Structure 1
Amino acid sequence: MTERQANEAQTIAGRVLEFAEEVEASGQSVVGGDALEAARAALHKWVDELTGVVVMPAFGRVTVIHGNGRESTISSPDLPFAMSKPVGESPDA
């Protein structure tokens, strides 16, 4: 990660935590080092254990279905499009 990317990540993390404080919720941010590696490992494990995915680019959401039947929704302007196939492309491609 470049210094610019690290600074941007820190700025975004700070804004998210400030919002959490406004609604009296706690949070933590991690933007580097061993703590970030541990967070990545936890996310990879979480993704590896999913049993289904619903991709909704028009809504900017991806819903992950877990083995226990629970759902988690990820709101992102980029992820649904990165996971989508172009219109007209065969689903088996």
Structure 2
Amino acid sequence: MSDDQSAKIQATVERVLELAEEVEAAGEASVGGAGLERTRAVLHAWIDGMKGVVVHPALGRVTVIHENGRESTIASAELPYLLSVPVNPKTDA
């Protein structure tokens, strides 16, 4: 990872933590090492356990449906578009 990428990631981490502090909510950040590896493992298991997903590109949201029927919403400018199926996919036929 370049120094520029590292600086951008660190700036984002600091901004997110500062926003949480404004409403007196504690935050936790992991950008490398064992902390990040643990977080990735937990997230992979969480995603692997999902039973459904609803993608809303226009709203910038993805809703994950869990086995117990509960839902978790992920707000993202990119993720809904990565998961969307094109309206008129081209075929080789």
TM-score by length of 1: 0.91
1:34 Cα shift?
1.3
Percent of aligned pairs sharing the same letter:
57
What residue is the counterpart of 1:16 in the other structure?
16
- Determine the C-alpha separation between the residues in 1 that align with 2:30 and 2:47: 19
TM-score, length of structure 2 as denominator length: 0.91
Where do 5+ consecutive residues of structure 1 fail to align?
A: none
Aligned twin of 2:26: 26
Deviation, structure 1 residue 89 = 3.2
Tell me, which stretches of 5 or more residues in structure 2 are unaligned? Answer: none
Structure 1 residue 32: deviation in Å? Answer: 0.9
Secondary structure in structure 2 of the residue aligned to 1:50 = coil
Equivalent position of 2:87 in the other structure: 87
Tell me by how many angstroms 1:88 deviates.
2.0
SS across alignment from 2:51? strand
Match of 1:19, SS state, is: helix
1:51–1:66 Cα contact (<8 Å) kept:
yes
Worse-matched range after superposition: 56-65 or 29-38 = 29-38
Does residue 15 of structure 2 align to residue 2 of structure 1?
no
CA RMSD of aligned residues (A): 1.3
Equivalenced residues, count: 90
Q: Which runs of 4+ in 1 moved over 4 A?
A: none
Equivalents in 2 of 1:39, 1:18: separation in Å?
A: 21
